[in-house]
Chain A
Amino acid sequence: MRTLIRGLGELCITAGLILMLFLTYELWGTGQYTRDQQNRLTERLLERWEAPEVTTEQVELGSGIAMLRVPEFGDDYGFVVVEGVERDDLRKGPGHYPGSAMPGEVGNFVVSGHRTTYSAPFNDLGELERGDEILIDTREKQYVYKVTGRDIVEPTAVEVTAPVPYHPGKKPGERLITLTTCHPKYSDAERMIVFGELTAAKPRVPTAAAAE
């Protein structure tokens, strides 16, 4: 009897340790993968930007399309936005919804990102306030978006990704950005959405800081 209880206790402790290890993996280990991928993507993106433009350039799923920076989150905050929002894309970094507008275009540039795992690119999204800048670097330009609002919606609220948010089917006239992530933290019960609009488009500074 005694050995049985002791064995049970030992099993419980073991299970607890394994669970702790798993949490470490989720919150930190997955980030390692993202950091690796981001380094690779940054390198490739900068290489591509330096090379002469290929007019037939196709955006491949999972490849980097732009650099996202938020001055509010510090100077070393920078992520390469990848094309696609499938699981494998979002593991590499924030993902651009295929079919939504590209940076600077009329319409809605929609980007989704992890909030707690895989380097948690959108961890602090909730701290953005009206007027805060979201910078999107592309080959030629740096697009400066300013936050205009925030909302918490159901996970099925696709209308926020429409060219005119909440008005699917309406013809867009403005150049918008929409960031989506899960909400609350460590849950996927809802989605946090941050909206912004383009306020400036400058020539890109050639020394785009690498995402570290």
Chain B
Amino acid sequence: MYAWIWRRLPGAWHTKLAVAAAAVLALVLVLWNVVFPWVEPKVQFDHGVVTGTPSPSSSPEPGLP
């Protein structure tokens, strides 16, 4: 897969390297800033609240079973 992508990248090897690095960076940024914050509450493994709280703000605890 990566070999195939590498062959597809234009230019000499250093251009390829630069483009590849930029693509990886872009992917990491999208994951970090968009995907992970979205996934995080769905897989939350760190929940410290006991439920059914005397909370007047009555929206139910998100992410709880």
Contacts and interface: CB of A to CB of B under 8 A. Distances in A.
Interface in A8-37: 10-11, 18, 21-22, 25-26, 29-30
A156 interface: yes
A180 B50 contact: yes
Contact count band on B: 20 to 34
Contacts of A116: 45-46
Contacts of B31: 18, 21-22
B50 A21 contact: no
Contacts of A99: 53-56
Interface in A176-212: 180-182, 186-188, 191, 193
B57 A86 contact: yes
A6 B5 CA distance: 14
Interface residues of A, number: 45
Nearest to A187: B45
A155 B62 CA distance: 14
7 contacts: A25-B40, A98-B56, A99-B56, A116-B45, A117-B44, A161-B50, A188-B44
A61 to B, nearest CB: 6
Given A18-B31, A21-B31, A115 B48 contact: yes
Interface of B: 1-2, 28, 31-32, 36, 39-41, 44-57, 59, 61-64
Interface in A104-159: 112-118, 122, 153, 155-158
Given A97-B53, A97-B55, A156-B52, A188 B36 contact: no
Contacts of A118: 46
Given A21-B28, A99-B55, A122-B48, A87 B36 contact: no
